[in-house]
Structure 1
Amino acid sequence: MSSLSRVLGRRRPETEERLWRLNVATLIPPLALVGVMLVVLEGRTWWHILVLSGGLLAGLATLVDWAPRKVSVFSFACLGVAAAVWAVGSLVMSTPTAFYGFNIACSVIIPELRRHRGAVAVGMICFVGVFGLLHVLVHPGDTSKLLVQYVVIPTGVTMLAAAVLSGAKKFYDLVQELDVAREREAELAVMRERMRFASDLHDIQGHTLHVVKLKVTLAEKLLHRDLHRAQEELREVHALVGDTIMQTKELAYAQRRLNLATELENAKNLFEAAGIHVRIVREPGVEPRPGELLGQVLRETTTNILRHAQARQVHIVLSASGISIVNDGAQDEGLPELRGLSTLSHRVADNGGELKVAQQAGRFLTAAGFPRVAPGTVPMMTTGEDHR
């Protein structure tokens, strides 16, 4: 069974219910009307009417029992009843329209078979033709006329109905595939939202934990040299933890928004606290949505520099819709695995931008840009610059 079939096997019950109602509403009324007319016209005695009505009801019951990709025992029982009606109608009652119920049952069952569908279809059509041919052989009369009435028309109508219902089956399959596509899209949306939430949570708490570690280490060093400064660092740690708790609550209620100006100030303070010289070149007019994404890029990059680099200088350039961060002290072992930036690159791309990283001569570049400013246009800083 294909993967699509396995997915369709787990389709939602409401979709099958809608298809069943559509099937009942569009097919049963006209088929029932035609069947009643045939019973009235061909039923010469009460038992003729009873037998023909049984075949009609068996065919309609098969249609009511219809379900996509599923044939029940009840449907096969109805098919058997309708087959018996055709056998009796052709050989005993001399009623060429007795195949009508069998024709309906065949048309419903054949498209839903999973195996040997073609062989079963040929067998059912041959069944109709054989009993029609037996009538021609048993009952005297105009052979050509009887062949048309009992062989050509019944087999032809059965073949046509099976072909039409097979086409309708493709329509039902298309509806199911669209439903599966909607389910997959909903699942992907949930997964994307979970990834976004995890990324934001990593941005908040991962960044905070590294800053707390840095400040606690600094306070520990200052404890015996500058008690007042050590206390100030610990107060900042306390305030930072409180702010992180608030941001986590805002994230849980989808209220969190990053402020790029605040992120720039935080990055500057953190780099300076770590003894890193930082230079910031900022242009006005950053758009709100890119500004929020650029703030996330800046926060993640700041964390990466503090964690992975032995940086002494950082150069940040912020334009109307792009940001570039260059730091020295990068390891010469190739690009490190930066999962946070990898996740952010997809989010930036989803908003029409581009995020790139590059490493050259011990310097590491992180650049994010939107259509107005292409990433990577800011050159690597030179060694002789004063980045204070």
Structure 2
Amino acid sequence: MKARPLHLTELTQGRLRRLNLYTALPPLILAAVVVVAVDVGAWWHVLVLAPGVIAAIVAFERWTANDIGRVFWPCLAVAAPVWPLGVLLVGSPNAYWGVASVASLGLPRLPGRRYLAGAGLVVFVAAIGALRLAVGPDDDRIRVGAARFLVGDNEILLSYVLVPTALTVFITVLSFVGERFYDIVQELEMSREREAELAVIRERVRFAGDLHDIQGHTLHVVKLKTALAQKLVHSDPDRAADELREIHGLVSDTIRQTKELAYGQRRLNLSAELENAKNLFEAAGIRVRITREAEAEARVSELLGQVLRETTTNILRHAQATQVRITLSAAGITIVNDGAPAGEVVLRGLSALRQRLSEDGGVLTASVMAGEFTTAASYPTADVR
């Protein structure tokens, strides 16, 4: 499998933000059109209200791309004047929509004093709306399309102050909660990555333990036999020669076992590998389901165990898996995981095992389909004895 080009948290947050873009942008644009259409009474009103709407849409699109910081202040500078101009010139109770939208997207990302800035936004919207109360009674109107309706102070207070302020508070709180949700997702993804890294470290520790088992005992015996041979070299040369031959045999056998361990050729217990893989996946927060349709033949179980071990390491290191399915039969094993990276399948560590299986009459395949990576090692049923 190919290495991930991006950090897992970046990928997860990117998917969530793109989902927001695809689901929320159409109704956002519809709301913007409605806001402008409802309040426009003359052609020049569009010139006053449209910049706030455009700034809000641009800010939202950049927010979904996790790039709101680059456009926040320019968009806010464009959207903020639209509210007072809309109140005093157009008579638009909805002109606050642009500045409230832009600010609510950017404020949760400020490095400090974000809550104070949120309170300032609410005060700004309420104060500008209250300016409409200072306009003479003959000019106090609410506009619906081309129609204009005279209203009293209570209606002005409701339309220009209470409703805009309440909605600004609502969307600002919602944005802070949403940003906290993304923070939690990031923390969970980082925790999951740490678990996966810990699982790989455990596997390395296990490898080190196997290496110690192979070499530690042998080196201790070699040390004792060497000391004995030194004592016997003059008093009993034949016995000393026998000890040296045994030392040579022990060293040669240790070299062979070390090579087998390094190349994944040491004899493995398939049942133990299944249990180990289950523990590693669960430690990494990955759901695992093991189906044992039949027990593998002794002739093939060792290589199947090596395939399972290598595939487990690949999934933990390179995939974004949330679930793994392992199916064991008398003639083979199949491991399927989701979260497979797109692109060409590269066996790498499995390539050596594929050659060994081929020489032994087996087949090792790897494929990606619909986001799932499948590794399958099998022996023709007719050849299994």
> Is 1:84 matched with 2:94?
no
> Is 1:231 matched with 2:241?
yes
- What do the CA deviations read for 1:12-33 (whole angstroms, capped 9, x no partner)? 4323322321231232221111
Moved more, 250-259 or 174-183: 250-259
Aligned to 1:149: 159
Of 162, 187, 191 in structure 1, the residue corresponding to residue 172 of structure 2 is: 162
Aligned to 1:50: 47
User: Secondary structure, in 3 states, of the residue corresponding to 1:66?
Assistant: helix
Question: Structure 1 residue 70: deviation in Å?
Answer: 7.5
Partners of 1:258 and 1:224 lie apart in 2 by 44
Question: Structure 1 residue 38: deviation in Å?
Answer: 1.7
User: For 1:360-371, what aligned pairs fall within 5 Å after superposition?
Assistant: none
Question: Structure 1 residue 67: deviation in Å?
Answer: 6.7
Of 38, 55, 64 in structure 1, the residue corresponding to residue 35 of structure 2 is: 38
Q: Which one has a bigger Cα radius of gyration?
A: 1
User: For 1:60-71, what aligned pairs fall within 5 Å after superposition?
Assistant: 60-66=57-63
Q: Which amino acid aligns with 1:26?
A: T
> Is 1:187 matched with 2:197?
yes
Question: Structure 1 residue 85: deviation in Å?
Answer: 1.0
Q: 1:288 to 1:147 in 2, by over 3 A?
A: closer
Of 81, 92, 95 in structure 1, the residue corresponding to residue 92 of structure 2 is: 95
Partners of 2:238 and 2:135 lie apart in 1 by 117
Question: Structure 1 residue 111: deviation in Å?
Answer: 2.2
Aligned to 1:251: 261
Q: Which amino acid aligns with 2:233?
A: L
Q: Flag structure 1 segments of 5+ consecutive residues without an equivalent.
A: 1-9, 260-286, 294-388
* TM-score between both structures, scaled by the size of structure 1: 0.60
Q: 1:288 to 1:236 in 2, by over 3 A?
A: farther
Bigger relative contact order, structure 1 or 2 (CA pairs below 8 A, ≥6 apart):
2
> Is 1:206 matched with 2:203?
no
Partners of 1:68 and 1:211 lie apart in 2 by 63
- What do the CA deviations read for 1:162-201 (whole angstroms, capped 9, x no partner)? 1222222232122111111111112211221222222222
**Structure 1 residue runs of 4 or more that deviate by more than 4 Å after TM superposition:** 67-71, 287-290
Moved more, 201-210 or 130-139: 201-210
Partners of 1:117 and 1:187 lie apart in 2 by 35
Partners of 1:50 and 1:288 lie apart in 2 by 73
Of 242, 248, 251 in structure 2, the residue corresponding to residue 241 of structure 1 is: 251
User: Secondary structure, in 3 states, of the residue corresponding to 1:98?
Assistant: coil
Question: Structure 1 residue 146: deviation in Å?
Answer: 0.7
User: For 1:1-388, what aligned pairs fall within 5 Å after superposition?
Assistant: 12-66=9-63, 72-140=69-137, 141=140, 142-257=152-267
User: Secondary structure, in 3 states, of the residue corresponding to 2:82?
Assistant: helix
- What do the CA deviations read for 1:69-108 (whole angstroms, capped 9, x no partner)? 9852421210121111112111111111111111211221
Question: Structure 1 residue 149: deviation in Å?
Answer: 0.8
Partners of 1:173 and 1:93 lie apart in 2 by 40
Instruction: Report the aligned-residue RMSD.
Output: 2.7
Conserved 8 A contact 2:18-2:65: no
* TM-score between both structures, scaled by the size of structure 2: 0.61
Q: Which amino acid aligns with 1:182?
A: R
Question: Structure 1 residue 11: deviation in Å?
Answer: 7.1
Q: 1:33 to 1:69 in 2, by over 3 A?
A: closer
Conserved 8 A contact 1:32-1:60: yes
Conserved 8 A contact 2:229-2:241: yes
Question: Structure 1 residue 258: deviation in Å?
Answer: 8.0
